[in-house]
Structure 1
Amino acid sequence: MWTGYTVGKKMVGVQIQRIDGKRISIWTMIKRHLISAFVYLTPLLIGAIILTFLNDGPLRAIMTFNEIN
């Protein structure tokens, strides 16, 4: 098993390690992926909330808006 690797990291020889140099556990990898998913999805959720609740008119694409005017 490739503990501390993704396929890309394995190809270039980079490995995730703890500060003391030991290999990370599966639980540490799961926590790392959950935290990164939260960090990356938070702006998308904020944007979805803004579009859903703060929109006053119909949603239009830029091209549609330019064709109307």
Structure 2
Amino acid sequence: MIQNPGGFWRRLLGILLDAIVIGIPLGIIAYILTGETEGNAFTNLLSFLYYLILPVAWMGYTVGKRIVGVRIVKVNGEKVGIGTMFLRTFVAGIVYAVTIGIALIVSAFMVGLREDKRAIHDLIAGTYVTTDKPEQSLET
């Protein structure tokens, strides 16, 4: 059951904060190690692992989502697992790439206009973004 969905602006700010807090240092490290300023396999892999593993380990949060107070959960309220996050990140990424970004734009409108604030990647993975904090029993 979907409760207290995180809206467009909070989600966008969370994505931007992730880009600043994680993307910039990752780009600097990649430049030091590879000498390349453009995205490469090293930065793409680390970025993918960040979005795949951190929400599983940290109750649905990424750094940016934690700062703005939203997290990813399954529609039934359970915490996300690796399979769920794989669907949300990798499979949805393929959908966005195949549609040349059109599905990403549609997703932005979905988050802004749908009552449940779910984007295409949420529908694929059976997730949503909520402002609810994890239950105390789940954190320990």
Partner of 1:25: 81
TM-score between the two structures when normalised by the length of structure 1: 0.51
2-side partners of 1:25 and 1:12: how far apart? 22
Partner of 1:62: none
Higher strand share: 2
Tell which structure's C-alpha radius of gyration is larger.
Answer: 1
5+ residue gaps in structure 1? 45-69
Q: Select which of 38, 50, 64 maps to 2:94.
A: 38
2-side partners of 1:29 and 1:3: how far apart? 12
Amino acid at match of 1:27: G
Question: Which gives a bigger RCO, structure 1 or 2 (Cα 8 Å, sep 6+)?
Answer: 2
Alignment size in residue pairs: 44
Counterpart contact for 1:4–1:29, Cα < 8 Å: no
Q: How does 1:57-68 map to 2 (within 5 A)?
A: none
Q: List 4+ stretches of structure 1 deviating above 6 A.
A: none
**C-alpha deviation, 1:36, in angstroms:** 2.1
TM-score between the two structures when normalised by the length of structure 2: 0.28
Superposed CA deviations along residues 17-51 of structure 1, whole A, max 9, x for unmatched, are 1122111112211121012211221117xxxxxxx
Are residues 10 and 4 of structure 1, via their aligned partners in 2, closer, same or farther at CA, if it must alter by over 3 Å? same
Percent pairwise identity:
41
Higher helix share: 2
2-side partners of 1:13 and 1:21: how far apart? 16
2-side partners of 1:7 and 1:39: how far apart? 25
